[in-house]
Amino acid sequence: MEMENRTVVSEFILLGIPNTKGQETILFIGFLAFYLCTLLGNLLILSAILADSRLHTPMYFFLCNLSMLDLGLASISTPKLLVDLWAKSRTISLGGCMSQVVFFHFLSSTECLIYTVMAFDRYVAICHPLRYLIIMNWRVCAILTASTWITSSFHATILTSLTFTLPYCGPNVIDYYFCDIFPVVKLVCADTYIIETVTFTNTGVVPMICFFLILASYVRIVFSILKMTSAEGRRKAASTCASHLTVVTLFFGPCTLVYVQPRQSKVLVTFVQLFGYVATPVLNPVIYTLRNKEVKGALRKLRGGQTTAR
């Protein structure tokens, strides 16, 4: 009897973005433009940092990781969404659904931890500038980065395993535009208390801990900036932190709205998550480029221009 109650669903149907019937062409063009800009922007950031030896520092090493994560996050759901909008083929295989869940939570968790590591890097750079190169040496940077990727892989594997070992006896219609845990577990024909509790803990509590660690870092940074006697020093320190604070806000804002209160309006949740995982990967390269002379100089050098003297 237990074997008969195991998963019998071999594919799912994604209902897509709510209240958009008849607007498929406009949405297709819009999402395609966002996706292409994401690819172009993040690949340019990666190329510029790798090509300019002056940017081979811990700060830009973490920025490279962030660009790779943005490329991955944008590629999890957007290509499938574009196919659904263009070909009106809304089916996704069980394996495809599992892949979306595992990679989405793997990359999202890694990005959350990378933001925390970047905040620590800024804290050391501003609060302990004379010891910065000693504390944030390449060995430490490699360990911190590898830890974020490895920890997130366990996190994603556990969540995906718990989600897809539950019995799915039908229906197979997911009321969302991609496979995420909360929409998927609504189709489970068994008690979902454990998976919902674990998911809330992993995707709600853990990011909040990261957020408060980032907040604590910036409280210390603000006190250090206020103690600086040089106005130029204060301006430069604040400028290096402003970009990171902006992207942290763009990341944690949608996460908080979606996962802390998963039973919100479907339209609101969809809009917030679309902004967080379609628009934000486009904005991150723009934010770091517009506010960073070094990156702008590396981009000019990359296309054959001359960098301005610093």
Provide the pLDDT for residue 281: 85
Sheet with 91-93: strands ordered across: 91-93, 11-14, 173-174
Query: Is cis: bond before 171, omega within 30 of 0?
Result: yes
Full-model pTM: 0.87
Residue 303 has pLDDT above 70, yes or no: yes
Domain-located, residue 1: no
Domain-located, residue 310: no
Kindly tell me the burial class for residue 173, based on how many C-beta atoms sit within 10 Å of its own C-beta (0-12, 13-18, 19 or more): middle
Residue 307 has pLDDT above 50, yes or no: no
Provide the pLDDT for residue 299: 81
* pLDDT, tens only, 90-106: 899 989 999 999 999 99
Provide the pLDDT for residue 298: 81
Tell me the CB-side half-sphere exposure of residue 127, using CA atoms within 13 A: 17
Dihedrals phi, psi of 297, to nearest 5 degrees: -65, -40
Residue 233, domain extent: 11-302
Average pLDDT of the chain to the nearest whole number? 83
Provide the pLDDT for residue 300: 82
Residue 3 has pLDDT above 50, yes or no: no
Domain-located, residue 206: yes
Q: At 138, which amino acid appears?
A: W
Can you tell me the mean pLDDT for 185-199? 83
Provide the pLDDT for residue 19: 76
Chain centroid to Cα 97, Å, comes to 19
Most confident of 211-220, 240-249, 273-282: 211-220
Domain-located, residue 260: yes
| Residue for token pair 């040089």 | 230
Can you tell me the mean pLDDT for 160-175? 86
Provide the pLDDT for residue 147: 95
* pLDDT, tens only, 42-95: 999 999 889 888 889 998 999 999 999 999 998 998 999 898 888 877 899 989
Domain-located, residue 2: no
Residue 25 has pLDDT above 50, yes or no: yes
Residue 5 has pLDDT above 50, yes or no: no
Domains held by the chain: number: 1
Instruction: Tell me the percentage of the chain whose pLDDT exceeds 70.
Output: 90
Domain-located, residue 307: no
Can you tell me the mean pLDDT for 164-188? 86
H or E stretch at 174: strand 173-174
Can you tell me the mean pLDDT for 170-175? 84
Provide the pLDDT for residue 118: 93
Domain-located, residue 186: yes
Q: For residues 176 and 273, what is the distance between their CA atoms, to the nearest angstrom?
A: 11
Provide the pLDDT for residue 84: 87
pLDDT, greater one: 267 or 198? 198
* pLDDT, tens only, 266-301: 666 677 777 777 888 888 888 877 667 778 888 888
Provide the pLDDT for residue 66: 92
Domain-located, residue 309: no
CATH at 188 = 1.20.1070.10
Provide the pLDDT for residue 197: 79
Per-residue pLDDT band at 213 (split at 50, 70, 90): very high
